[in-house]
């Protein structure tokens, strides 16, 4: 999706001054999968009842498995995010996901300024939004305000700054604020990106959930066109991951980061399928089977987190540890294939 430039501002000198914040307090997005965490936080500022499982499951993110050959940290976000738009919107707010890729002929300063102009407009309308890289890492963050030429944000860093506080506590601008992020200092490799939310909408929940299962099948069984070149995706990505570990081809921190993210996503996938089984009685058996398979995969990844802790990256030099991890990942592949097949059978019964 191309960036919608604010043509009346291009070429003009933009001297931003002043400050404004959305009135609502924000629950910081503590999910490791930052899109899920940030979007959930924004929905809550608009009094939409949802949690990480709803956002991950309805959007399709819960069913994403995506890795490059070096197991770099780019896997969990290395796909076309616009795939997430329809399912996110079905939760209850008009949703627009916009992207602007960097090119040699592109003036990146203009792109960054255009994005900041759009975000300022959203804040002035009283709406939080989500911006890619508006924090100290390439992650999504909630933008709840601006100060001169900087974003005011809530990200995973808001959770990490005070270890003993309630993670469900909504914070105002003066409560443990994060450092402002200058508009042209985003940690946004490859492209700029943002998620904007409009008015509340009513959706046919049953139909939207069926579409969520359609997306899940496409993603798990590698039939969705959203993935970028150079990545392995779907259930078979776990097998490619196992092969990389056996051969020792891995970026240690990237490997540990992938484990942390996909462990969380597999947990969301299991929980989402379990919820669907409670409301779609005809397909309950098949949805329940999918939930169990995703849960087994999640438990394997929980064990991998102990072998390769995110804080240190694990010990990839030990062949025995890599062999154990590869076995667990091979099982994850089988569990996901079986989950995808169960979801496909469930579709016929919705």
Please tell me whether the overall predicted TM-score, pTM, comes out greater than 0.95 for this model. no
With residues binned 3-state (H G I as helix, E B as strand, rest as coil), the percentages for the chain, rounded to 5, are: 50, 15, 35
Please check the confidence at residue 17 and state whether its pLDDT lies above 80. yes
Question: Comparing C-alpha atoms, which of 257, 194, 158, 145 is closest to residue 1?
Answer: 194
Which of these ranges, 155-169, 180-194, 210-224, has the smallest mean pLDDT? 155-169
Of residues 215 and 161, more confidence is placed in 215
Please check the confidence at residue 114 and state whether its pLDDT lies above 80. yes
Question: Tokens for 251?
Answer: 């970026």
Q: How many CB atoms lie within 10 A of CB 108?
A: 13
Q: How confident is the model at residue 104 (pLDDT cuts 50, 70, 90)?
A: low
Beta strands in the chain (DSSP E): 19-21, 66-68, 93-101, 129-132, 140-147, 150-154, 181-182, 191-200, 231-233
Dihedral sign for Cα atoms in the order 227, 33, 200, 146: negative
Q: How far from chain centre, in Å, is Cα 223?
A: 20
Please check the confidence at residue 29 and state whether its pLDDT lies above 60. yes
User: Residue 245, SS3?
Assistant: helix
> Region 77-106: what's the mean pLDDT?
90
Q: Where are the alpha helices (DSSP H) in 72-202?
A: 85-89, 108-124, 156-160
Q: How confident is the model at residue 319 (pLDDT cuts 50, 70, 90)?
A: confident
Q: What is the pLDDT of residues 229-242, one digit of tens each?
A: 889 999 999 999 99
- Up-side HSE of residue 37: CA atoms within 13 Å toward CB? 24
Is residue 302 exposed (0-12), middle (13-18) or buried (19+ Cβ within 10 Å)?
middle
Cβ pair 87, 211 in contact under 8 A: yes
**What per-residue confidence (pLDDT) applies to 11?**
42
Provide, rounded to the nearest whole percent, the portion of the chain with pLDDT above 90.
78
Q: Would you give the DSSP letter of residue 62?
A: G
> Region 53-64: what's the mean pLDDT?
98
Of residues 69 and 333, more confidence is placed in 333
Q: How confident is the model at residue 205 (pLDDT cuts 50, 70, 90)?
A: very high
């Amino acid at each position: 999706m191309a960036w919608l430039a604010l043509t009346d501002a291009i070429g003009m000198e933009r001297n931003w001054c002043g400050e404004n914040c959305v009135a609502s307090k924000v629950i910081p997005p503590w999910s490791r999968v930052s899109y899920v965490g940030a979007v959930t936080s924004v929905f809550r500022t608009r009094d939409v009842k949802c949690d990480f499982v709803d956002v991950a499951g309805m959007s399709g993110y819960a069913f994403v498995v995506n890795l490059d050959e070096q197991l770099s940290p780019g896997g969990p976000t290395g796909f076309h995010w616009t795939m997430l738009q329809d399912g996110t919107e079905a939760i209850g707010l008009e949703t627009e996901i916009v992207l602007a890729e960097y090119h040699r002929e592109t003036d990146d300063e203009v792109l960054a300024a255009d994005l900041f102009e759009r975000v300022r407009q959203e804040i002035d309308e009283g709406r939080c939004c989500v911006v890619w890289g508006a924090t100290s890492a390439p992650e999504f963050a909630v933008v709840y305000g601006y100060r001169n030429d900087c974003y005011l944000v809530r990200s995973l860093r808001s959770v990490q700054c005070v270890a003993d506080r309630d993670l469900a506590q909504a914070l105002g601008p003066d409560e443990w604020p994060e450092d402002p992020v200058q508009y042209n200092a985003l940690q946004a490799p490859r492209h700029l990106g943002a998620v904007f939310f409009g008015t509340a909408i009513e959706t046919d929940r049953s139909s939207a959930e069926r579409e969520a299962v359609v997306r899940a099948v496409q993603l798990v069984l590698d039939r969705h066109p959203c993935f970028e070149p150079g990545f392995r995706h779907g259930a078979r990505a776990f097998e490619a991951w196992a092969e990389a570990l056996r051969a020792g081809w891995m970026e240690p921190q990237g490997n540990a980061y992938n484990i942390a993210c996909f462990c969380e996503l597999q947990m969301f996938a299991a929980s989402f399928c379990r919820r669907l089984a409670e409301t779609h009685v005809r397909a309950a058996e098949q949805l329940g089977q999918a939930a169990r398979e995703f849960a087994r995969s999640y438990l394997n990844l929980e064990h991998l987190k102990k072998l390769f802790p995110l804080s240190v990256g694990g010990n990839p030099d030990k062949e025995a540890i890599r062999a154990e991890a590869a076995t667990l990942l091979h099982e994850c592949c089988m569990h996901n294939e079986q989950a995808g097949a169960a979801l496909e059978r469930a579709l016929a019964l919705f």
